[in-house]
Structure 1
Amino acid sequence: MKHLLSSIATLALTAGLAQGQAANVPDNLDKLSNFQTTGVTDFTFIEQGGDYAEGIKATLDRVTLPDGFKIELYAVVPDARHMAVGPQGIVTFVGTRKDKVWSVTDRNKDRVADEVKDFAPSLQFSIPNGPCFSPDGFLYIAEQNRVLLFPAAEFFYESPDVAAFNLVAKGDLIPEEQESFNHTARVCDIGPDGKIYISLGQPFNVAPKENLDINTKWGIGGIIRMNTDGTGREVYTYGVRNSVGHDFHPETGELWWTDNQVDGMGDDIPPGELNRQTEMGQHFGHPWFGGGDVRTNEYKGEEVPVDVVMPAVETVAHAADLGMAFYTGSQFPAKYKNAIFSAQHGSWNRTEPVGARVMVTFIDDEGNATMEPFATGWLTEDGEYLGRPVDVAQLRDGSILVSDDLAGALYRISYEGN
């Protein structure tokens, strides 16, 4: 608590400086940073029953899982993207690619959400795709071009007004002239070093040469990290096209992350990627490689000026591997300990659709990884998507949540076998 109060006090003192660097910050952020009321009193509540929920449950009857596992509707959450489960297990925050962040609460602990309402409705969010928690209960939300910090959000989310601060002000995450509608769904995570890691997808299908210098400087097409007070920013990862999922190995501390690869080269190339990063500054190939060892047309034949780390797993082309999480619970069988559960969102332009499933990746003692399907059934035999998984998060009881932005839902997968 002492650390929490000290951090809030420090942020309150520096909030004015941070906001002065961003002319477009909504006025309500100024008020919330100074612990003032905004006058907003209403929440948007999402109905959890009715025909819509029953339709989602009917889809889940199609989903197949390994023996002993079951999947159930946990919550109806419009546009559900990446999730952050509160350290106390009280509430799960769910980002979107629109202008809402949702708080999801299971009040009676029957493992089904009782209430879904918007979080901090007095704020104007802009693509708040990526929420993440620090172990001591600080909520961070990575937006298109800003990172917000909410101390003690898990305890004060019941009010429309929540203490909120700029960790990275608008225009300081990426230059405003580099803002794009494409590849702007950020994700964040707190590393074992206590720093916050944030992905910055680059906006083009293949990064043009004239952008390479600015990309390198800012970490666009990479993963950056900084201290949790916003200082000490540095580029941790280079050569990323668009990563929308990362997590740290529970034992080695290595950063693993998914990457969506180049479009327009055909149905079957290039592969998607699951990457393993063993040290700061490694380069993973973009724009010289489109995925795996497949060279991009734009840079084909050119000498590659960097040492490239190839993926730990090459995934099916255009399946759109997104959110991922290492499994650290004890509910699932022992073989899943420290395995990666990840979501394949599904292809948008493949002539024969693929993806729309949850994958599991097993890693051996040498770091070799093998990926296989875990939950399937959202893609019909006729190529229709009945759902599009986005992210995976672990609840305190060892079950996992899967978000779906097409159905607008969270699913809970639990184990009841022997």
Structure 2
Amino acid sequence: MIRMLMSTVALAGLVAATNAFAQGDDNMTKLRGMQSTGTSMDFRTIEQTGDYADQLRSNLENVKLPSGFKIELYAVVPDARHIAIGPQGVVTFVGTRKQDVWAVTDRDKNRVADEVKQFAPSIDFAIPNGVCFSDDGFLYLAEQNRVLVLPAAEFFYESPDVAVDEIVPKGELVPTSEESFNHTARVCRIGPDDKLYVSLGQPFNVPPTEKAGLYERTGIGGIIRMNRDGSGREVFARGVRNSVGMQFNPANGDLWFTDNQVDGMGDDIPPGELNRATEAGQNFGFPWYGGGTVRTNEYKDAEVPADVVQPEVEMAAHAADLGMDFYTGTSFPQKYRGGIFSAQHGSWNRTQPVGARVMFTPVNEDGTAGETEAFAEGWLTDSGEYIGRPVDVAVMKDGSLLVSDDLAGAIYRISYDD
């Protein structure tokens, strides 16, 4: 009887899941045809006041910043990961490593969000971490194994139904055989060439040699680029273990990106990386190097490609460098203008944890990196407890800096007042 009951429950669950997937596919078909899906207007919203928000504000008292800067709670956003600020300044979209994308609005422009609600509930998302905008208002969304484009997202966000298209259909970003639970938080950017760039982290700590050919062809363990309609896909950069942050230098068009390096080699090796790609086709050394010039055990006897590009900056080992942005504002002091802010999520593979902070790297006139320094830190307490884990940074139109935190489920705003 128990076995029969369990079988019945399992079958019911399978049917329900199948119906849910079918409903999701049906919705996508309707949305692509500009048809209503009938999804409820009763959006899921997140409370922005109360004990939880008050505690987050209290936690920020631990964060240390240079003189003249302050940090405040901008929004409570569950599982907040990568940030895309709308070109019109109306809505900020926030991806997650789960199934939600959030629309964050500051309607009265007092620099604190008034509303956080689920974006496009008629679409079934799968790890919608990567959100990025084109200058002309198209929102791109890089999922685990699909890329969507949402025209006029800042206009349609008030509705459960949105204009959408699949520019890389489900199952075609990477081969389905390579879908993994690990290293599948994609990020994207529109380049100065008006093409879409997407990072494809490979799923292993160090991949087996038999995967090399497949990864080389598909761009897994690298960065790919394509036309904005999904055509013309090519591999832009190789030798990248798992990049979860990239941005183009507006001064010269170079693509900079963070990279998370090999675990299990010790507390202090290998270093994390901040890299600079100056042209297409460059190789950044993985898996021959685990980070910097530290050779991996698995490939220590293999010949290293002659054209490997070493990182611009070696970061603290295992600090988990993620999202980054160039500072294009004017409200921060001159030393920060044109430089890079980047988020360190914090270590798991270290006996003494490090990270959970925002770093700053100046960029020299010749396009190279200056000396990196800690800019905002304090989410890792002296006792080794995380009270927050920064993921991404984004420069707002007023020159302030947003910082996402997927542990606390929050977006913070850093501003300067001399």
1:367, distance to aligned residue in structure 2 (A): 2.9
| Structure-to-structure mapping, 1:12-411, within 5 angstroms | 26-41=25-40, 42-369=42-369, 370-411=371-412
Structure 2 residue runs without a partner (length 5+): 1-20
How far, CA to CA, are the matches of 1:408 and 1:218 in structure 2? 34
Q: Check whether the contact 1:322–1:390 (CA below 8 A) recurs between aligned residues.
A: yes
How far, CA to CA, are the matches of 1:69 and 1:305 in structure 2? 45
How far, CA to CA, are the matches of 1:240 and 1:24 in structure 2? 37
Q: Deviations over 1:97-120 (max 9, x none)?
A: 000000000000000000000000
1:64, distance to aligned residue in structure 2 (A): 0.7
Q: Deviations over 1:346-386 (max 9, x none)?
A: 00121100000000000112333121100010000000000
1:26, distance to aligned residue in structure 2 (A): 2.1
How far, CA to CA, are the matches of 2:236 and 2:415 in structure 1? 35
1:24, distance to aligned residue in structure 2 (A): 10
Letter in 1 for 2:191: G
How far, CA to CA, are the matches of 1:205 and 1:23 in structure 2? 35
Letter in 2 for 1:254: D
How far, CA to CA, are the matches of 1:153 and 1:309 in structure 2? 38
Letter in 1 for 2:51: D
Letter in 1 for 2:67: D
Q: Check whether the contact 1:283–1:306 (CA below 8 A) recurs between aligned residues.
A: no
- Say which SS state the counterpart of residue 104 (structure 2) adopts: strand
How far, CA to CA, are the matches of 1:89 and 1:173 in structure 2? 30
How far, CA to CA, are the matches of 2:38 and 2:309 in structure 1? 52
Q: Deviations over 1:131-182 (max 9, x none)?
A: 0000000000000000011000001100011111101101111111110000
Letter in 1 for 2:406: D
Q: For this pair of structures, how many residues does the alignment match? A: 396
Q: Check whether the contact 2:346–2:356 (CA below 8 A) recurs between aligned residues.
A: yes
Q: Deviations over 1:71-111 (max 9, x none)?
A: 00000000000000000000000000000000000000000
Letter in 2 for 1:404: D
1:25, distance to aligned residue in structure 2 (A): 6.5
Structure 1 residue runs without a partner (length 5+): 1-21
Q: Check whether the contact 2:292–2:314 (CA below 8 A) recurs between aligned residues.
A: yes
Q: Check whether the contact 2:24–2:122 (CA below 8 A) recurs between aligned residues.
A: no
Letter in 2 for 1:32: L
How far, CA to CA, are the matches of 1:277 and 1:179 in structure 2? 27
- Say which SS state the counterpart of residue 329 (structure 1) adopts: coil
User: What's the Cα RMSD here?
Assistant: 1.2
Letter in 2 for 1:382: S
How far, CA to CA, are the matches of 2:372 and 2:218 in structure 1? 32
Q: Which residue of 1 aligns with 2:17?
A: none
How far, CA to CA, are the matches of 2:241 and 2:93 in structure 1? 26
- Say which SS state the counterpart of residue 60 (structure 1) adopts: helix
**Could you state the TM-score of these two structures normalised by the residue count of structure 2?**
0.93
How far, CA to CA, are the matches of 1:25 and 1:299 in structure 2? 43
Letter in 2 for 1:30: T
- Say which SS state the counterpart of residue 235 (structure 1) adopts: strand
How far, CA to CA, are the matches of 2:282 and 2:191 in structure 1? 17
Give the 3 Å change call, closer, same or farther, for CA 313–178 of structure 1 in structure 2.
Answer: same
How far, CA to CA, are the matches of 1:280 and 1:249 in structure 2? 15
Percent of pairs with identical residues: 70
How far, CA to CA, are the matches of 2:283 and 2:152 in structure 1? 36
- Say which SS state the counterpart of residue 346 (structure 2) adopts: coil
Q: Deviations over 1:273-318 (max 9, x none)?
A: 0001111000000110000000000001221134210000000000
- Say which SS state the counterpart of residue 140 (structure 1) adopts: strand
Q: Check whether the contact 1:25–1:170 (CA below 8 A) recurs between aligned residues.
A: no
- Say which SS state the counterpart of residue 363 (structure 1) adopts: coil
Q: Check whether the contact 1:390–1:402 (CA below 8 A) recurs between aligned residues.
A: yes
Q: Deviations over 1:162-217 (max 9, x none)?
A: 11110110111111111000000000000001001000000000011000100010
How far, CA to CA, are the matches of 1:63 and 1:269 in structure 2? 27
How far, CA to CA, are the matches of 2:244 and 2:23 in structure 1? 26
1:416, distance to aligned residue in structure 2 (A): 0.4
1:334, distance to aligned residue in structure 2 (A): 1.3
- Say which SS state the counterpart of residue 393 (structure 1) adopts: strand
Letter in 2 for 1:305: P
How far, CA to CA, are the matches of 2:71 and 2:358 in structure 1? 12
**Could you state the TM-score of these two structures normalised by the residue count of structure 1?**
0.93
4+ runs of 1 displaced by more than 6 Å?
Answer: 22-25
Letter in 2 for 1:362: P
Q: Which residue of 1 aligns with 2:5?
A: none
- Say which SS state the counterpart of residue 28 (structure 1) adopts: helix
Give the 3 Å change call, closer, same or farther, for CA 373–119 of structure 1 in structure 2.
Answer: same
How far, CA to CA, are the matches of 2:308 and 2:58 in structure 1? 45
- Say which SS state the counterpart of residue 298 (structure 1) adopts: coil
Letter in 1 for 2:98: K
